[in-house]
Amino acid sequence: MIGTEQYTDKYIMERMEIMSKVAVVYWSGTGNTAAMATAVAEGAQEKGAEVSLMFCGEFGAERMDDFDAVAFGCPSMGSEQLEEGDFEPMFTACEGKLAGKKIALFGSYGWGDGEWMRSWEDTCRSDGAVFACDSVICREAPDEDALSDCKALGAALA
């Protein structure tokens, strides 16, 4: 008879190999994109992925290969730009690792029309990233619909 402990270890090891590893990497000044990031992480987790939710300072190009898929979140800052102090330098460093990488983008904005996200998508496309789904943007704090879209985005990455 196979020992229950051994069987359990084997089962766990196999599950760990099957589970996809998803990183959710974001910047947020007033919490709106942070709330979106939490929903993205929940969506990926509910789909069975092993999820790491990180503020952008905890992530870098050297960690890109550790994950099967990455969700990047950043609000519209400056003038329709990514946040320049922390997020953009981290993201620019990751660009060299985007070719063939499964990604998705999300973020909050205020008064614009989402131009920052269109430019960001263009950048990722020219880097050769593979979009798992459409980006999710919302004006200021995410409402129930936006949070549900964020969960679906996370699920698409899992």
Which positions lie near ligand FMN, rule CB under 6 A? 28-34, 75-80, 108-112, 140
d(CA 72, CA 51): 13
Residue with tokens 């985007």: 98
Decide whether 28 or 45 has the Cβ nearer to ligand FMN.
Answer: 28
What is the nearest approach in angstroms of ligand FMN to the Cβ of residue 40?
A: 13
Which phi and psi angles does 50 have, rounded to 5°? -90, 115
Decide whether 63 or 139 has the Cβ nearer to ligand FMN.
Answer: 139
d(CA 38, CA 79): 26
Decide whether 122 or 140 has the Cβ nearer to ligand FMN.
Answer: 140
E-assigned strand segments in 32-135: 50-55, 69-73, 102-109, 130-131
What is the nearest approach in angstroms of ligand FMN to the Cβ of residue 59?
A: 16
Q: What angle do CA 35, 140, 85 make, to 5 degrees?
A: 75
Decide whether 66 or 140 has the Cβ nearer to ligand FMN.
Answer: 140
d(CA 20, CA 29): 29
What is the nearest approach in angstroms of ligand FMN to the Cβ of residue 55?
A: 11
What is the nearest approach in angstroms of ligand FMN to the Cβ of residue 70?
A: 18
